[in-house]
Chain A
Amino acid sequence: MKLITAIIKPFKLDDVKAALREAGVQGMTVTEVRGFGRQGGHTETYRGAEYVVDLVPKVKVEVVAEVFDAERIAEVITSAAKTGKIGDGKVWITDVDRVVRIRTGELDADAVT
């Protein structure tokens, strides 16, 4: 099994969610996160004092899939989340040893479909 993790722009979440549904993905986990990459942060000014906000808000999307399907799902996320501007985020794929559906005890591919 594989875990596809994507860090995307928050306003792209709806597009990514729709695209994943379209691609037949049954479930996903979404987390609000902060981080920085090449985009850097922004500055705010209060009574003349400048503050740099270097951790910008992003959304993390996680999907567990079968090995053969991982590349395709990563591709679906990439095209849905892309704006072409700096700060679009990253997608990566990692190995998952075992997935269990808690209710039924089903394993791996059966647990995620």
Chain B
Amino acid sequence: MDPGDAAWVLASAALVMFMTPGLALFYGGMDRRRNVLNMLMMNFWCLLTVPVLWAVVGYSLAQVPADADLLGGLDDAFLRGMTIRGEDGGFGLLVMVFLGMFAVITPALISGAVADRMRFAAWAVFAPVWTLLVFVPVFKWVYGGWLGQRGSLDFAGGTAIHVNAGIAALACVLVLGKRKGWPSEGHPPHSMPLVMLGTGILWFGWFGFNAGSALAADGTAVQAFVNTFLAAAAAGLAWAIVERVRDGHVTNLGAASGIVAGLVAITPGAGFVAGMSAVWIGLAAGVVCCYAVGLKTRLGYDDALDVVGVHFVGGLVGSLAVGLFSDPAFFGTDNKEGLLLGGGPSLLFEQALANGATIVYSFVVTAAIMLALKATIGVRVPPEVEEAGLDLAEHAETAYHGEGDAVRVPAALSTTNSASVAEPAV
């Protein structure tokens, strides 16, 4: 194991881990104040369940053996044989933990769509089950499986992660139904500073997500890093300009959404495109996603925080863009050339096929999981809980304690059930 590679991939794994709390803040700020803790917990729940699942069977089914067409086996289940004493000096273990961070954030992406109304018990089951039944097989297909073998490219998870989670989010909200009062009542963000902080953490972490996916401290990692920098900026800029022209203002939420859309869109091509391609991909993603988030009100699906409009659409734009901009002169001759670099349409076709297969499989299986949950434990909170907020009903917590709120006395000290004002100590 090259020490330089190990150092960079270890650092990248930590960066990707940090993205899930970042995503939680990004979503949590957009949510209403009575549901923000539920949103954070949905994300952190992925950090609690998926690592264990990944070590038990997830990694083995998703990766081992590398050339399995549809699904891996159980050779590395329970991390069997994965030690630092082997020939690779522990690099296999490092790849396992690095990819485990991706497995954590993928189901977390879906939480933004189901905000404000999904039973936490249902989410608690959904997140690990979805990881096993949808994320793991699609990941295998794209990396070493039949889609990868055909020649489709996905550097860091445009298809396997963003298109996959984005279309799953659509299936979830179709089973779950609309929130009370949507869209007439409106659900504006409760804390834009949290959204901007989450956006910054996501961008920071995404350098590990994309550049770490080189699995080495090499030129490809450098190129992916640069592309991640440029595409996010270009997409944020594009979204801001569209909003300024269309609505009259540059908004924080627009800039943040554009940045995330750009990060999503550059993910599949981060290690396959060079030069100004990242800027073109970012600009395209910023404009397309800015309009795509309006589709939900027109088509009537309540994707609360625009997981479909940003992750599904952004991932699709970026993945198809690989078919246009892929540059094998830099990244190995076994890659096909993009259409705009004179490579013909065959790579574009493979990209479309890979995304098509992912969309169909993910949508159908996700809908089946949600329908099964709906028929058994139920997926929606009662209307009165939706009205009063999920934080209190589902987690027995309140996010913001301030003036005008009820006075809180430790239950052990309270002589009655009603809140009382304590006399200040002399």
Pick from A46, A50, A51 the residue with the most CB of B within 10 Å: A46
Q: Which residue of B lies closest to A50 (CB)?
A: B247
**Interface: A45 (CB within 8 A):** yes
Q: How many A-B pairs fall under 8 Å by CB?
A: 27
Whole-angstrom CA separation of A25 from B121 in the bound complex:
58
Residue of A nearest to B403 (CB): A32
Q: Is the interface of A mostly helix, strand, loop or mixed?
A: strand
Query: How many angstroms from the CA of A49 to the CA of B189 in the assembled complex?
Result: 11
Counting chain A residues whose Cβ lies within 8 A of the other chain, the interface size class is under 10
In this assembly, does B251 line the interface, its C-beta being within 8 Å of a C-beta of chain A?
yes
* Total interface residues in chain B, CB < 8 Å: 18
**Interface membership of B243, Cβ < 8 A:** yes
Please tell me if A47 contacts chain B, counting CB pairs below 8 Å.
yes
- Chain B, 295-306, contact with A by CB distance < 8 Å: what is the 0/1 string? 001000000001
Q: Is the CB of B294 within 8 A of A48?
A: yes
B249 and A45 contacting across the interface, CB-CB below 8 Å: yes
Asked if B281 is at the interface of the complex by the 8 Å CB criterion, the answer is no
Q: Which of A44, A46, A48, A50 contacts B290 (CB 8 A)?
A: A48
Q: Which residues of B contact A44 (CB under 8 A)?
A: 188
Determine if B246 is an interface residue (Cβ-Cβ < 8 Å): yes
Q: Mask for A45-63, Cβ within 8 A of B = 1, else 0?
A: 1111111000000000000
Is there contact, CB below 8 Å, between A47 and B257? Answer: yes
Residues of B within 8 A of A (CB): 183, 186, 188-189, 243, 246-247, 249, 251, 253-254, 257, 290, 293-294, 297, 306, 404
26 A–B contacts from the bound complex (CB under 8 Å): A32-B404, A44-B188, A45-B243, A45-B247, A45-B249, A45-B251, A46-B188, A46-B189, A46-B251, A46-B253, A47-B253, A47-B254, A47-B257, A47-B293, A47-B306, A48-B243, A48-B246, A48-B247, A48-B290, A48-B293, A48-B294, A49-B183, A49-B186, A49-B297, A50-B247, A51-B186
